[in-house]
Amino acid sequence: LAKTTQPISMDSYEGQEVNITCSHNNIATNDYITWYQQFPSQGPRFIIQGYKTKVTNEVASLFIPADRKSSTLSLPRVSLSDTAVYYCLVVRGYGGATNKLIFGTGTLLAVQP
Amino acid sequence: ETGVTQTPRHLVMGMTNKKSLKCEQHLGHNAMYWYKQSAKKPLELMFVYSLEERVENNSVPSRFSPECPNSSHLFLHLHTLQPEDSALYLCASSQGGTANEKLFFGSGTQLSVL
């Protein structure tokens, strides 16, 4: 499984754009990059997933460079309610078997008023 | 609402008690997971079931015993727990086996062992 590295914490203010970068140097050809958001005492929630270039949905954008060794989650105009832990996962299919979906330490984003 | 329901939401038990956590998914998924999250720590993968067969047991003590009677239900049976087992226990489901696999989590059971 590709190991991921992301900052332990980040601070921001309401209304700013926040970019959280994740490194995954040993990503394999068939791997996808997935981001989850977790609020205290709740289960993580899927945010966005991508394979290459750029993916955008109603919540965030995901930028993946051509070498795919890193990815950046972009949250536009954050609010206080975006304060959460954000996890980056690299997921590999095992041809029918189930993936071992291992979470790292994540990035604690603290949004200030 | 994620389509994954866990009960109970909160549980307090003594070290000699036996209790069970229940998880039910309404998403038609073929894989289910138990994760443990201690305070201010990352999620730890405990068990993985694919098509009702256990495919991963991540060196979890035998005082935790999972059961998956069908693809929609998952249980975690608890007995003679220790205070350090106090944590948030999360259940998740997915359509497993593909690289774009996505996990759907329940709200968790907050367990306190006295």
pLDDT, one tens digit per residue, over B2-24 is 899 999 999 999 988 899 999 99
Distance CA A24, CA A89 (A): 9
CA distances from B81 to B37, B47, B77 (A): 16, 17, 10
The confidence score (pLDDT) of residue B106 equals: 96
Q: Does B34 touch chain A (CB under 8 A)?
A: no
Among B98, B99, B107, select the one facing A43 at the smallest CB separation.
B107
Among A45, A95, A100, select the one facing B45 at the smallest CB separation.
A100
Among A92, A102, A104, select the one facing B99 at the smallest CB separation.
A92
Distance CA B86, CA B105 (A): 19
Chain B residues with CB-CB distance to A106 below 8 A: 42
Asked if A70 contacts A22 with a C-beta cutoff of 8 angstroms, the reply is yes
Q: Is A34 helix (H, G, I), strand (E, B) or coil?
A: strand
Over residues A100-109, mean pLDDT: 85
Mean pLDDT over the full length of chain B: 91
pLDDT, one tens digit per residue, over A68-92 is 999 999 999 999 999 999 999 987 7
Q: Does B114 touch chain A (CB under 8 A)?
A: no
pLDDT, one tens digit per residue, over B54-99 is 877 778 999 999 999 999 999 999 999 999 999 999 999 998 766 6
| Tokens matching residue B40 | 């201010």
C-alpha A16: how far from chain center: 18
Asked if A106 contacts A85 with a C-beta cutoff of 8 angstroms, the reply is yes
B106 and A44: CB-CB below 8 Å? no
Q: What is the DSSP letter of A80?
A: G
Distance CA B48, CA B60 (A): 12
Chain A residue nearest residue B95, CA to CA:
A98
pLDDT, one tens digit per residue, over A15-63 is 999 999 999 998 888 888 999 999 988 899 999 999 999 999 999 999 9
Cα angle, residue A16 at apex, residues A78 and A64 outer, rounded to 5°: 80
